[in-house]
Chain A
């Protein structure tokens, strides 16, 4: 079954102060389709992780929020696009505890566990794009 986009918006993320408003927007998308508090919390936590990576490693970028549906299921899809250095070894970056930033290294693998669909594309020197989808009842 194909996924349809019902509604879409784009935000530029260039500094730390952009994180909270973005998270609130994502939450509003979840509230609008009647997502449970638990799923909302998972979604905004995942958003938080990815937008922080985009700022810290990607040097800022663009985030697209979409309200999507597949059959009778509704959800929220968020895409994080940066034009930073990219990730050399995605498999390694997806491992729990791997960090080049002296951090916990839980952002990418943790996010994958919090959402229903997770897709990461990265090219050295050309940036990174991460797309996540959280279904209302997922």
Chain B
């Protein structure tokens, strides 16, 4: 029976559950009825797997692993911290050890039993961490996609004038999206002037500058003119020190002055309405 040292735990399921929930309660990471259900299901499945398995059989534990991964992602959504999440299985291990030490008197056998218990439960604890991380990574990658979509809105500011405010870092993939949506919008609206506002871009290095230059050239190929606005003083000085030549590009300090330039190009004028005198 050397193989099934841990099988005996099955006979003490209720006691184990009691000790476990006590530990969870004391550590302050319990949350009532929902947890009770989960714990019951987990303990029962786990102890069954223990009773059935021997060292060469990991198949029994696959179901248990699926369950604990499910439980920890649900605990994650319920607002448990990763620490509390890990605490859940660690206190289960503690409860099991406690019962084992009451049942087994021979120190060597007890040591073996605990060793085996550790191996199984530590592995599961790692799995819960991985599940927790995967949950987070999913959220992050979803947000990245969302951000790149919402951060490239092309606005028609006037008949014939489109503007695109860029916020954040312009890397190669981002530039691609920006350029495509800008060019598409020029076609769709039949605009002849595009304003690229970079007020929200933290730094213009040689890569970003190159991307800007390319976007301007592409716009020109479409028969439209491109103005870059929102060049802050510190950006202007840095660009000059870097040695980047933006002299072929129409640049303006603010979106307002870019718009003024665009109006001039279209021979439009904004005039103050005269008061009608009788």
15 A-B contacts, Cβ less than 8 Å apart? A16-B171, A19-B169, A23-B202, A42-B241, A44-B203, A45-B203, A48-B205, A49-B205, A49-B206, A103-B210, A104-B210, A104-B244, A106-B243, A113-B243, A114-B241
Q: Which residues in A have their C-beta under 8 angstroms from that of B233?
A: 38
Q: Is A90 among interface residues, defined by CB-CB distance under 8 A? A: no
Closest to A39 in B: B234
Closest to A113 in B: B241
Q: Which residues in A have their C-beta under 8 angstroms from that of B244?
A: 104, 106, 110
Q: A20-B169, A104-B244, A109-B243 are in contact. Are A114 and B238 (CB under 8 A)?
A: yes
Q: Which residues in B have their C-beta under 8 angstroms from that of A38?
A: 233-234, 237-238
In the complex, the answer to whether A107 meets B206 with C-beta atoms within 8 Å is: yes
- Per the 8 Å Cβ criterion, residues 195-252 of B in contact with A are 202-207, 209-210, 233-235, 237-238, 241-244
Q: Is A73 among interface residues, defined by CB-CB distance under 8 A? A: no
Q: A52-B207, A106-B206 are in contact. Are A41 and B235 (CB under 8 A)?
A: yes
In the complex, the answer to whether A113 meets B237 with C-beta atoms within 8 Å is: no
Given A42-B238, A44-B203, output 12 extra A-B contacts at Cβ < 8 Å: A16-B171, A16-B172, A19-B169, A40-B234, A41-B234, A42-B237, A42-B241, A45-B238, A106-B244, A107-B206, A113-B242, A114-B242
In the complex, the answer to whether A104 meets B209 with C-beta atoms within 8 Å is: yes
Q: Is A31 among interface residues, defined by CB-CB distance under 8 A? A: no
- Per the 8 Å Cβ criterion, residues 102-130 of A in contact with B are 103-104, 106-107, 109-111, 113-114
- Per the 8 Å Cβ criterion, residues 126-166 of B in contact with A are none
In the complex, the answer to whether B204 meets A96 with C-beta atoms within 8 Å is: no
Q: List residues of A whose CB falls within 8 A of some B CB.
A: 16, 19-20, 23, 37-38, 40-42, 44-45, 48-49, 52, 96, 103-104, 106-107, 109-111, 113-114
Q: Which residues in A have their C-beta under 8 angstroms from that of B203?
A: 23, 41, 44-45, 48
Which secondary structure characterizes the binding site on chain B?
Answer: helix
Inter-chain CA distance A26–B267, complex, in Å, is: 46
Inter-chain CA distance A40–B169, complex, in Å, is: 16
Nearest chain B CB to A40 CB, angstrom units: 8
Q: Which residues in A have their C-beta under 8 angstroms from that of B209?
A: 104
In the complex, the answer to whether B206 meets A110 with C-beta atoms within 8 Å is: yes
Q: Which residues in A have their C-beta under 8 angstroms from that of B238?
A: 38, 41-42, 45, 114
Closest to A16 in B: B171
Inter-chain CA distance A40–B207, complex, in Å, is: 18
Inter-chain CA distance A38–B235, complex, in Å, is: 8
